[in-house]
Chain A
């Protein structure tokens, strides 16, 4: 008896009950597709965060104030500190922008919107953070000196507050103080966990006047001359600040973070997120697997009588095993392939603001696991049934 004949039986078995074959395929499809998609979403989220941090540039140092030990006097970070960082003593520092930030409520006409980050800084801040202007202009050093009430808004703020109108030149109220919108920044997109476009930037002086007061700066953002000069710049900044803040020991009242360190910290959080999604995926693979198991068991069980008939007319055990093995293989491969296709198509769409990024190994894993489950639970009960005496199989209820 040739393999071809057994294969023909298998194909006929599958087409004879299209509903059953279809459901089995669907079960495998869903299992495979959901795993691929979930892992792709997790991966997409973490790579989006990495990209947004990397987008800031690798030659950036962020200095933020840090409470020193209790009892010791902590000096605030000041505009003078920022100005002092650009000096002949620090040849590797290109710019040092003082930054203050606060949350603010903005209003235009009858709409109002809570801006997540209202930032006060100087014009270098835009270059340092890779922010390009999409409409209008950035503000100038002169605006900062004159403390003009001008503001550059992010894309999200523009769409929320000025739907359908050009914001440039309009006057919007920030905490009831009128600001003139001079420019709109190009959209950066969501970084997975936080919207990078939900912000506005105004001159430092204006922001301190209107919103934050003249306390400590939130940050000083330092741009080094190049990525290679970053370690030198960090050393120079440390020396200058230690001198200004009279720090001798190891407990400084400020903290310097390089982009690398920031990246490492953020990556750790998104990795947790990916692990979380992967475990959800693993559970759905398990549930999918149980579904496949179930339908395969039912499929074989309801055909034990057929197995009995075949044995009664003289089918050897090997041919029955072969038939069910081929059936299970075809279903698993077909369902798995459709699942991979569905997962890949699904990952082309943006899901919950996250652009999924396929992980090739997850495709392989999902496919292999469901195919093996389908194969095992399709052929194991069949092999047990094939071992029955014909009369036992025929009497099976």
Chain B
């Protein structure tokens, strides 16, 4: 069976000429189905750049990225949006919920774009919110929720489409210890139920939840700690 993520000689350069920043310099990475991986590395080493490319939010300058065996390099924008919708759940450090919109509507959002019917949409969104323990907060807007609650809504939104992979860029970076524990607990359970999880973190306690830790140095994978 092919790995869920396969990255070969990935390069990403921002800008051009003298001011060009080489964020990724030929990175290789393979993630098997059902794995739980932590990505660590110094600030500016290219972790976010990598995860954005894995989430199809950005495209590499060169290199190959196979998602579930499909070469994403051959996809146009329309197909990429389909991929983001069906295969990927992305959790941001800064939550990125649609403002002035209820938790329920935020979680339903990917399902709307997936064309799921109203009744089923509601049912699945409520189930996802229940999974992250926010059944009582479904009609709250982001500004009426704590940071930890907002992040749990974001996770519910990421998992509501049952994606092949869940990507999280420092999901606990803005949270206190208690909220972090809750969020990590949810990710643990997600992984236990068979979902592939890739997260970026600066903290060893967070990385300890993962099966293995990938260390990124200067846009390359420096070593894999199991």
Residues on A facing B (Cβ under 8 Å)? 1-2, 5, 9, 12, 16-17, 305-306, 308-317, 319, 389-392, 394
Partner of B57, one of A306, A316, A389: A389
A312 to B94: give the CA distance in the assembly, Å: 14
Cβ contacts under 8 Å, B85 to chain A: 313-315
Question: How many whole Å from A320's CB to the nearest CB in chain B?
Answer: 10
Q: Do A316 and B113 form a contact, CB below 8 Å, given A390-B57, A391-B57, A391-B58?
A: yes
Asked whether B58 lies within 8 Å of A309 as measured between CB atoms, the reply is: no
In-complex Cβ contact of A314 among B52, B59, B86, B92 (8 A): B86
Residues on A with C-beta less than 8 A from B114 are: 1, 314
Of the A-B pairs whose beta carbons lie under 8 Å apart in the complex, a sample of 23, sorted by A's number, is A2-B115, A12-B101, A16-B99, A16-B101, A305-B96, A309-B97, A310-B98, A311-B84, A312-B57, A313-B85, A313-B113, A314-B84, A314-B114, A315-B85, A316-B78, A316-B82, A317-B77, A389-B58, A390-B58, A391-B52, A392-B58, A394-B92, A394-B96
Q: Is the CB of B81 within 8 A of A314?
A: yes
- Closest chain-A Cβ to B51's Cβ sits at a distance in Å of 10
Q: How far is the CB of B128 from chain A (nearest CB, A)?
A: 13
Question: Which residue of B has the minimal Cβ distance to A390?
Answer: B57
Q: Is the CB of B100 closer than 8 A to any CB of chain A?
A: yes
Using Cβ atoms and an 8 Å threshold, which residues of chain A touch B83?
A: 314
Query: How close is A336's CB to chain B, nearest CB, in angstroms?
Result: 26
Q: Select from chain A the residue with minimum beta-carbon distance to B82.
A: A314
- B121 CB to nearest A CB, Å: 10
Q: Which residue of B lies closest to A393 (CB)?
A: B57
CA distance A116 to B191 in the complex (A): 96
B90 at interface by CB-CB < 8 Å? yes
In the assembled complex, the CB of B116 is this many whole angstroms from the nearest CB of chain A, namely 10
Report how far A181 CA is from B86 CA in the complex, Å: 94
Distance in angstroms between the alpha carbons of A2 and B113 in the assembled complex: 9
Q: Does B110 contact A (CB under 8 A)?
A: yes
Seed contacts A16-B99, A313-B109, A391-B58; 20 additional CB < 8 Å A-B pairs: A1-B112, A1-B114, A5-B112, A9-B112, A308-B96, A309-B96, A309-B98, A312-B55, A312-B96, A313-B85, A313-B110, A313-B157, A314-B81, A314-B110, A314-B114, A315-B113, A316-B82, A319-B113, A391-B57, A392-B58
Contact code string B57-97 (vs A, CB < 8 Å = 1, else 0)? 11100000000000000000110011111100010100011
- The interface residues of chain B lying within 8 Å CB-to-CB of A16 are 99-101
How far apart are the CA atoms of A245 and B63 in the complex, in Å? 106
Count class of interface residues, chain B: 20 to 34
Bound: A317/B78 CA distance, A: 7
Within the complex, the shortest CB–CB distance from B141 to chain A, in Å, comes to: 9
Which among A308, A311, A317 has the highest number of chain B CB atoms within 10 Å?
A311
User: How far is A293 from B110 in the complex, measured between Cα atoms in Å?
Assistant: 31
Chain A residues within an 8 Å CB radius of B77: 317
Instruction: State which of A12, A315, A391, A394 has its C-beta within 8 Å of the C-beta of B81.
Output: A315
Taking the closest CB of chain B, its distance from the CB of A3, in whole angstroms, is: 12
List of A residues within 8 angstroms of B101 by Cβ: 12, 16
A309 to chain B, nearest CB (A): 5
Residue among A308, A314, A389 with the highest chain B CB neighbour number at 10 A: A314
Given A16-B101, A391-B57, residue A314 in contact with residue B113 (CB < 8 A): yes
> Given A316-B113, A394-B57, A306 and B99 touching (CB < 8 A)?
yes
Q: How far is the CA of A12 from the CA of B102 in the complex (A)?
A: 11
Q: Closest chain A residue to B56 by CB distance? A: A390
A16 and B100 CA atoms in complex are apart in Å by: 6
Chain B nearest CB: distance from A263 CB in Å? 61
Which residues of the other chain, A, contact B96 by a CB distance below 8 angstroms? 305, 308-309, 312, 394
| Cα separation A315 to B101 with both chains bound (whole Å) | 17
Docked pose: A16 CA to B143 CA in angstroms: 13
A313 cross-chain contacts in B, Cβ below 8 A:
84-85, 90, 109-110, 113, 157
**A317-B85 Cα distance, complex, nearest whole Å:** 13
- The minimal Cβ–Cβ distance linking B182 to chain A, given in whole angstroms, is 22
Which of the listed residues B56, B98, B99, B114 has the most CB atoms from chain A within 10 Å of its own CB? Answer: B98
Complex: A195 Cα to B146 Cα, angstroms:
71
Chain A residues in 8 Å Cβ range of B98: 306, 309-310
Min distance, Cβ B154 to any Cβ of chain A, angstroms: 10
B52/A1 in contact, CB under 8 A: no
Q: Give Cα A310 to B113, complex, Å.
A: 9
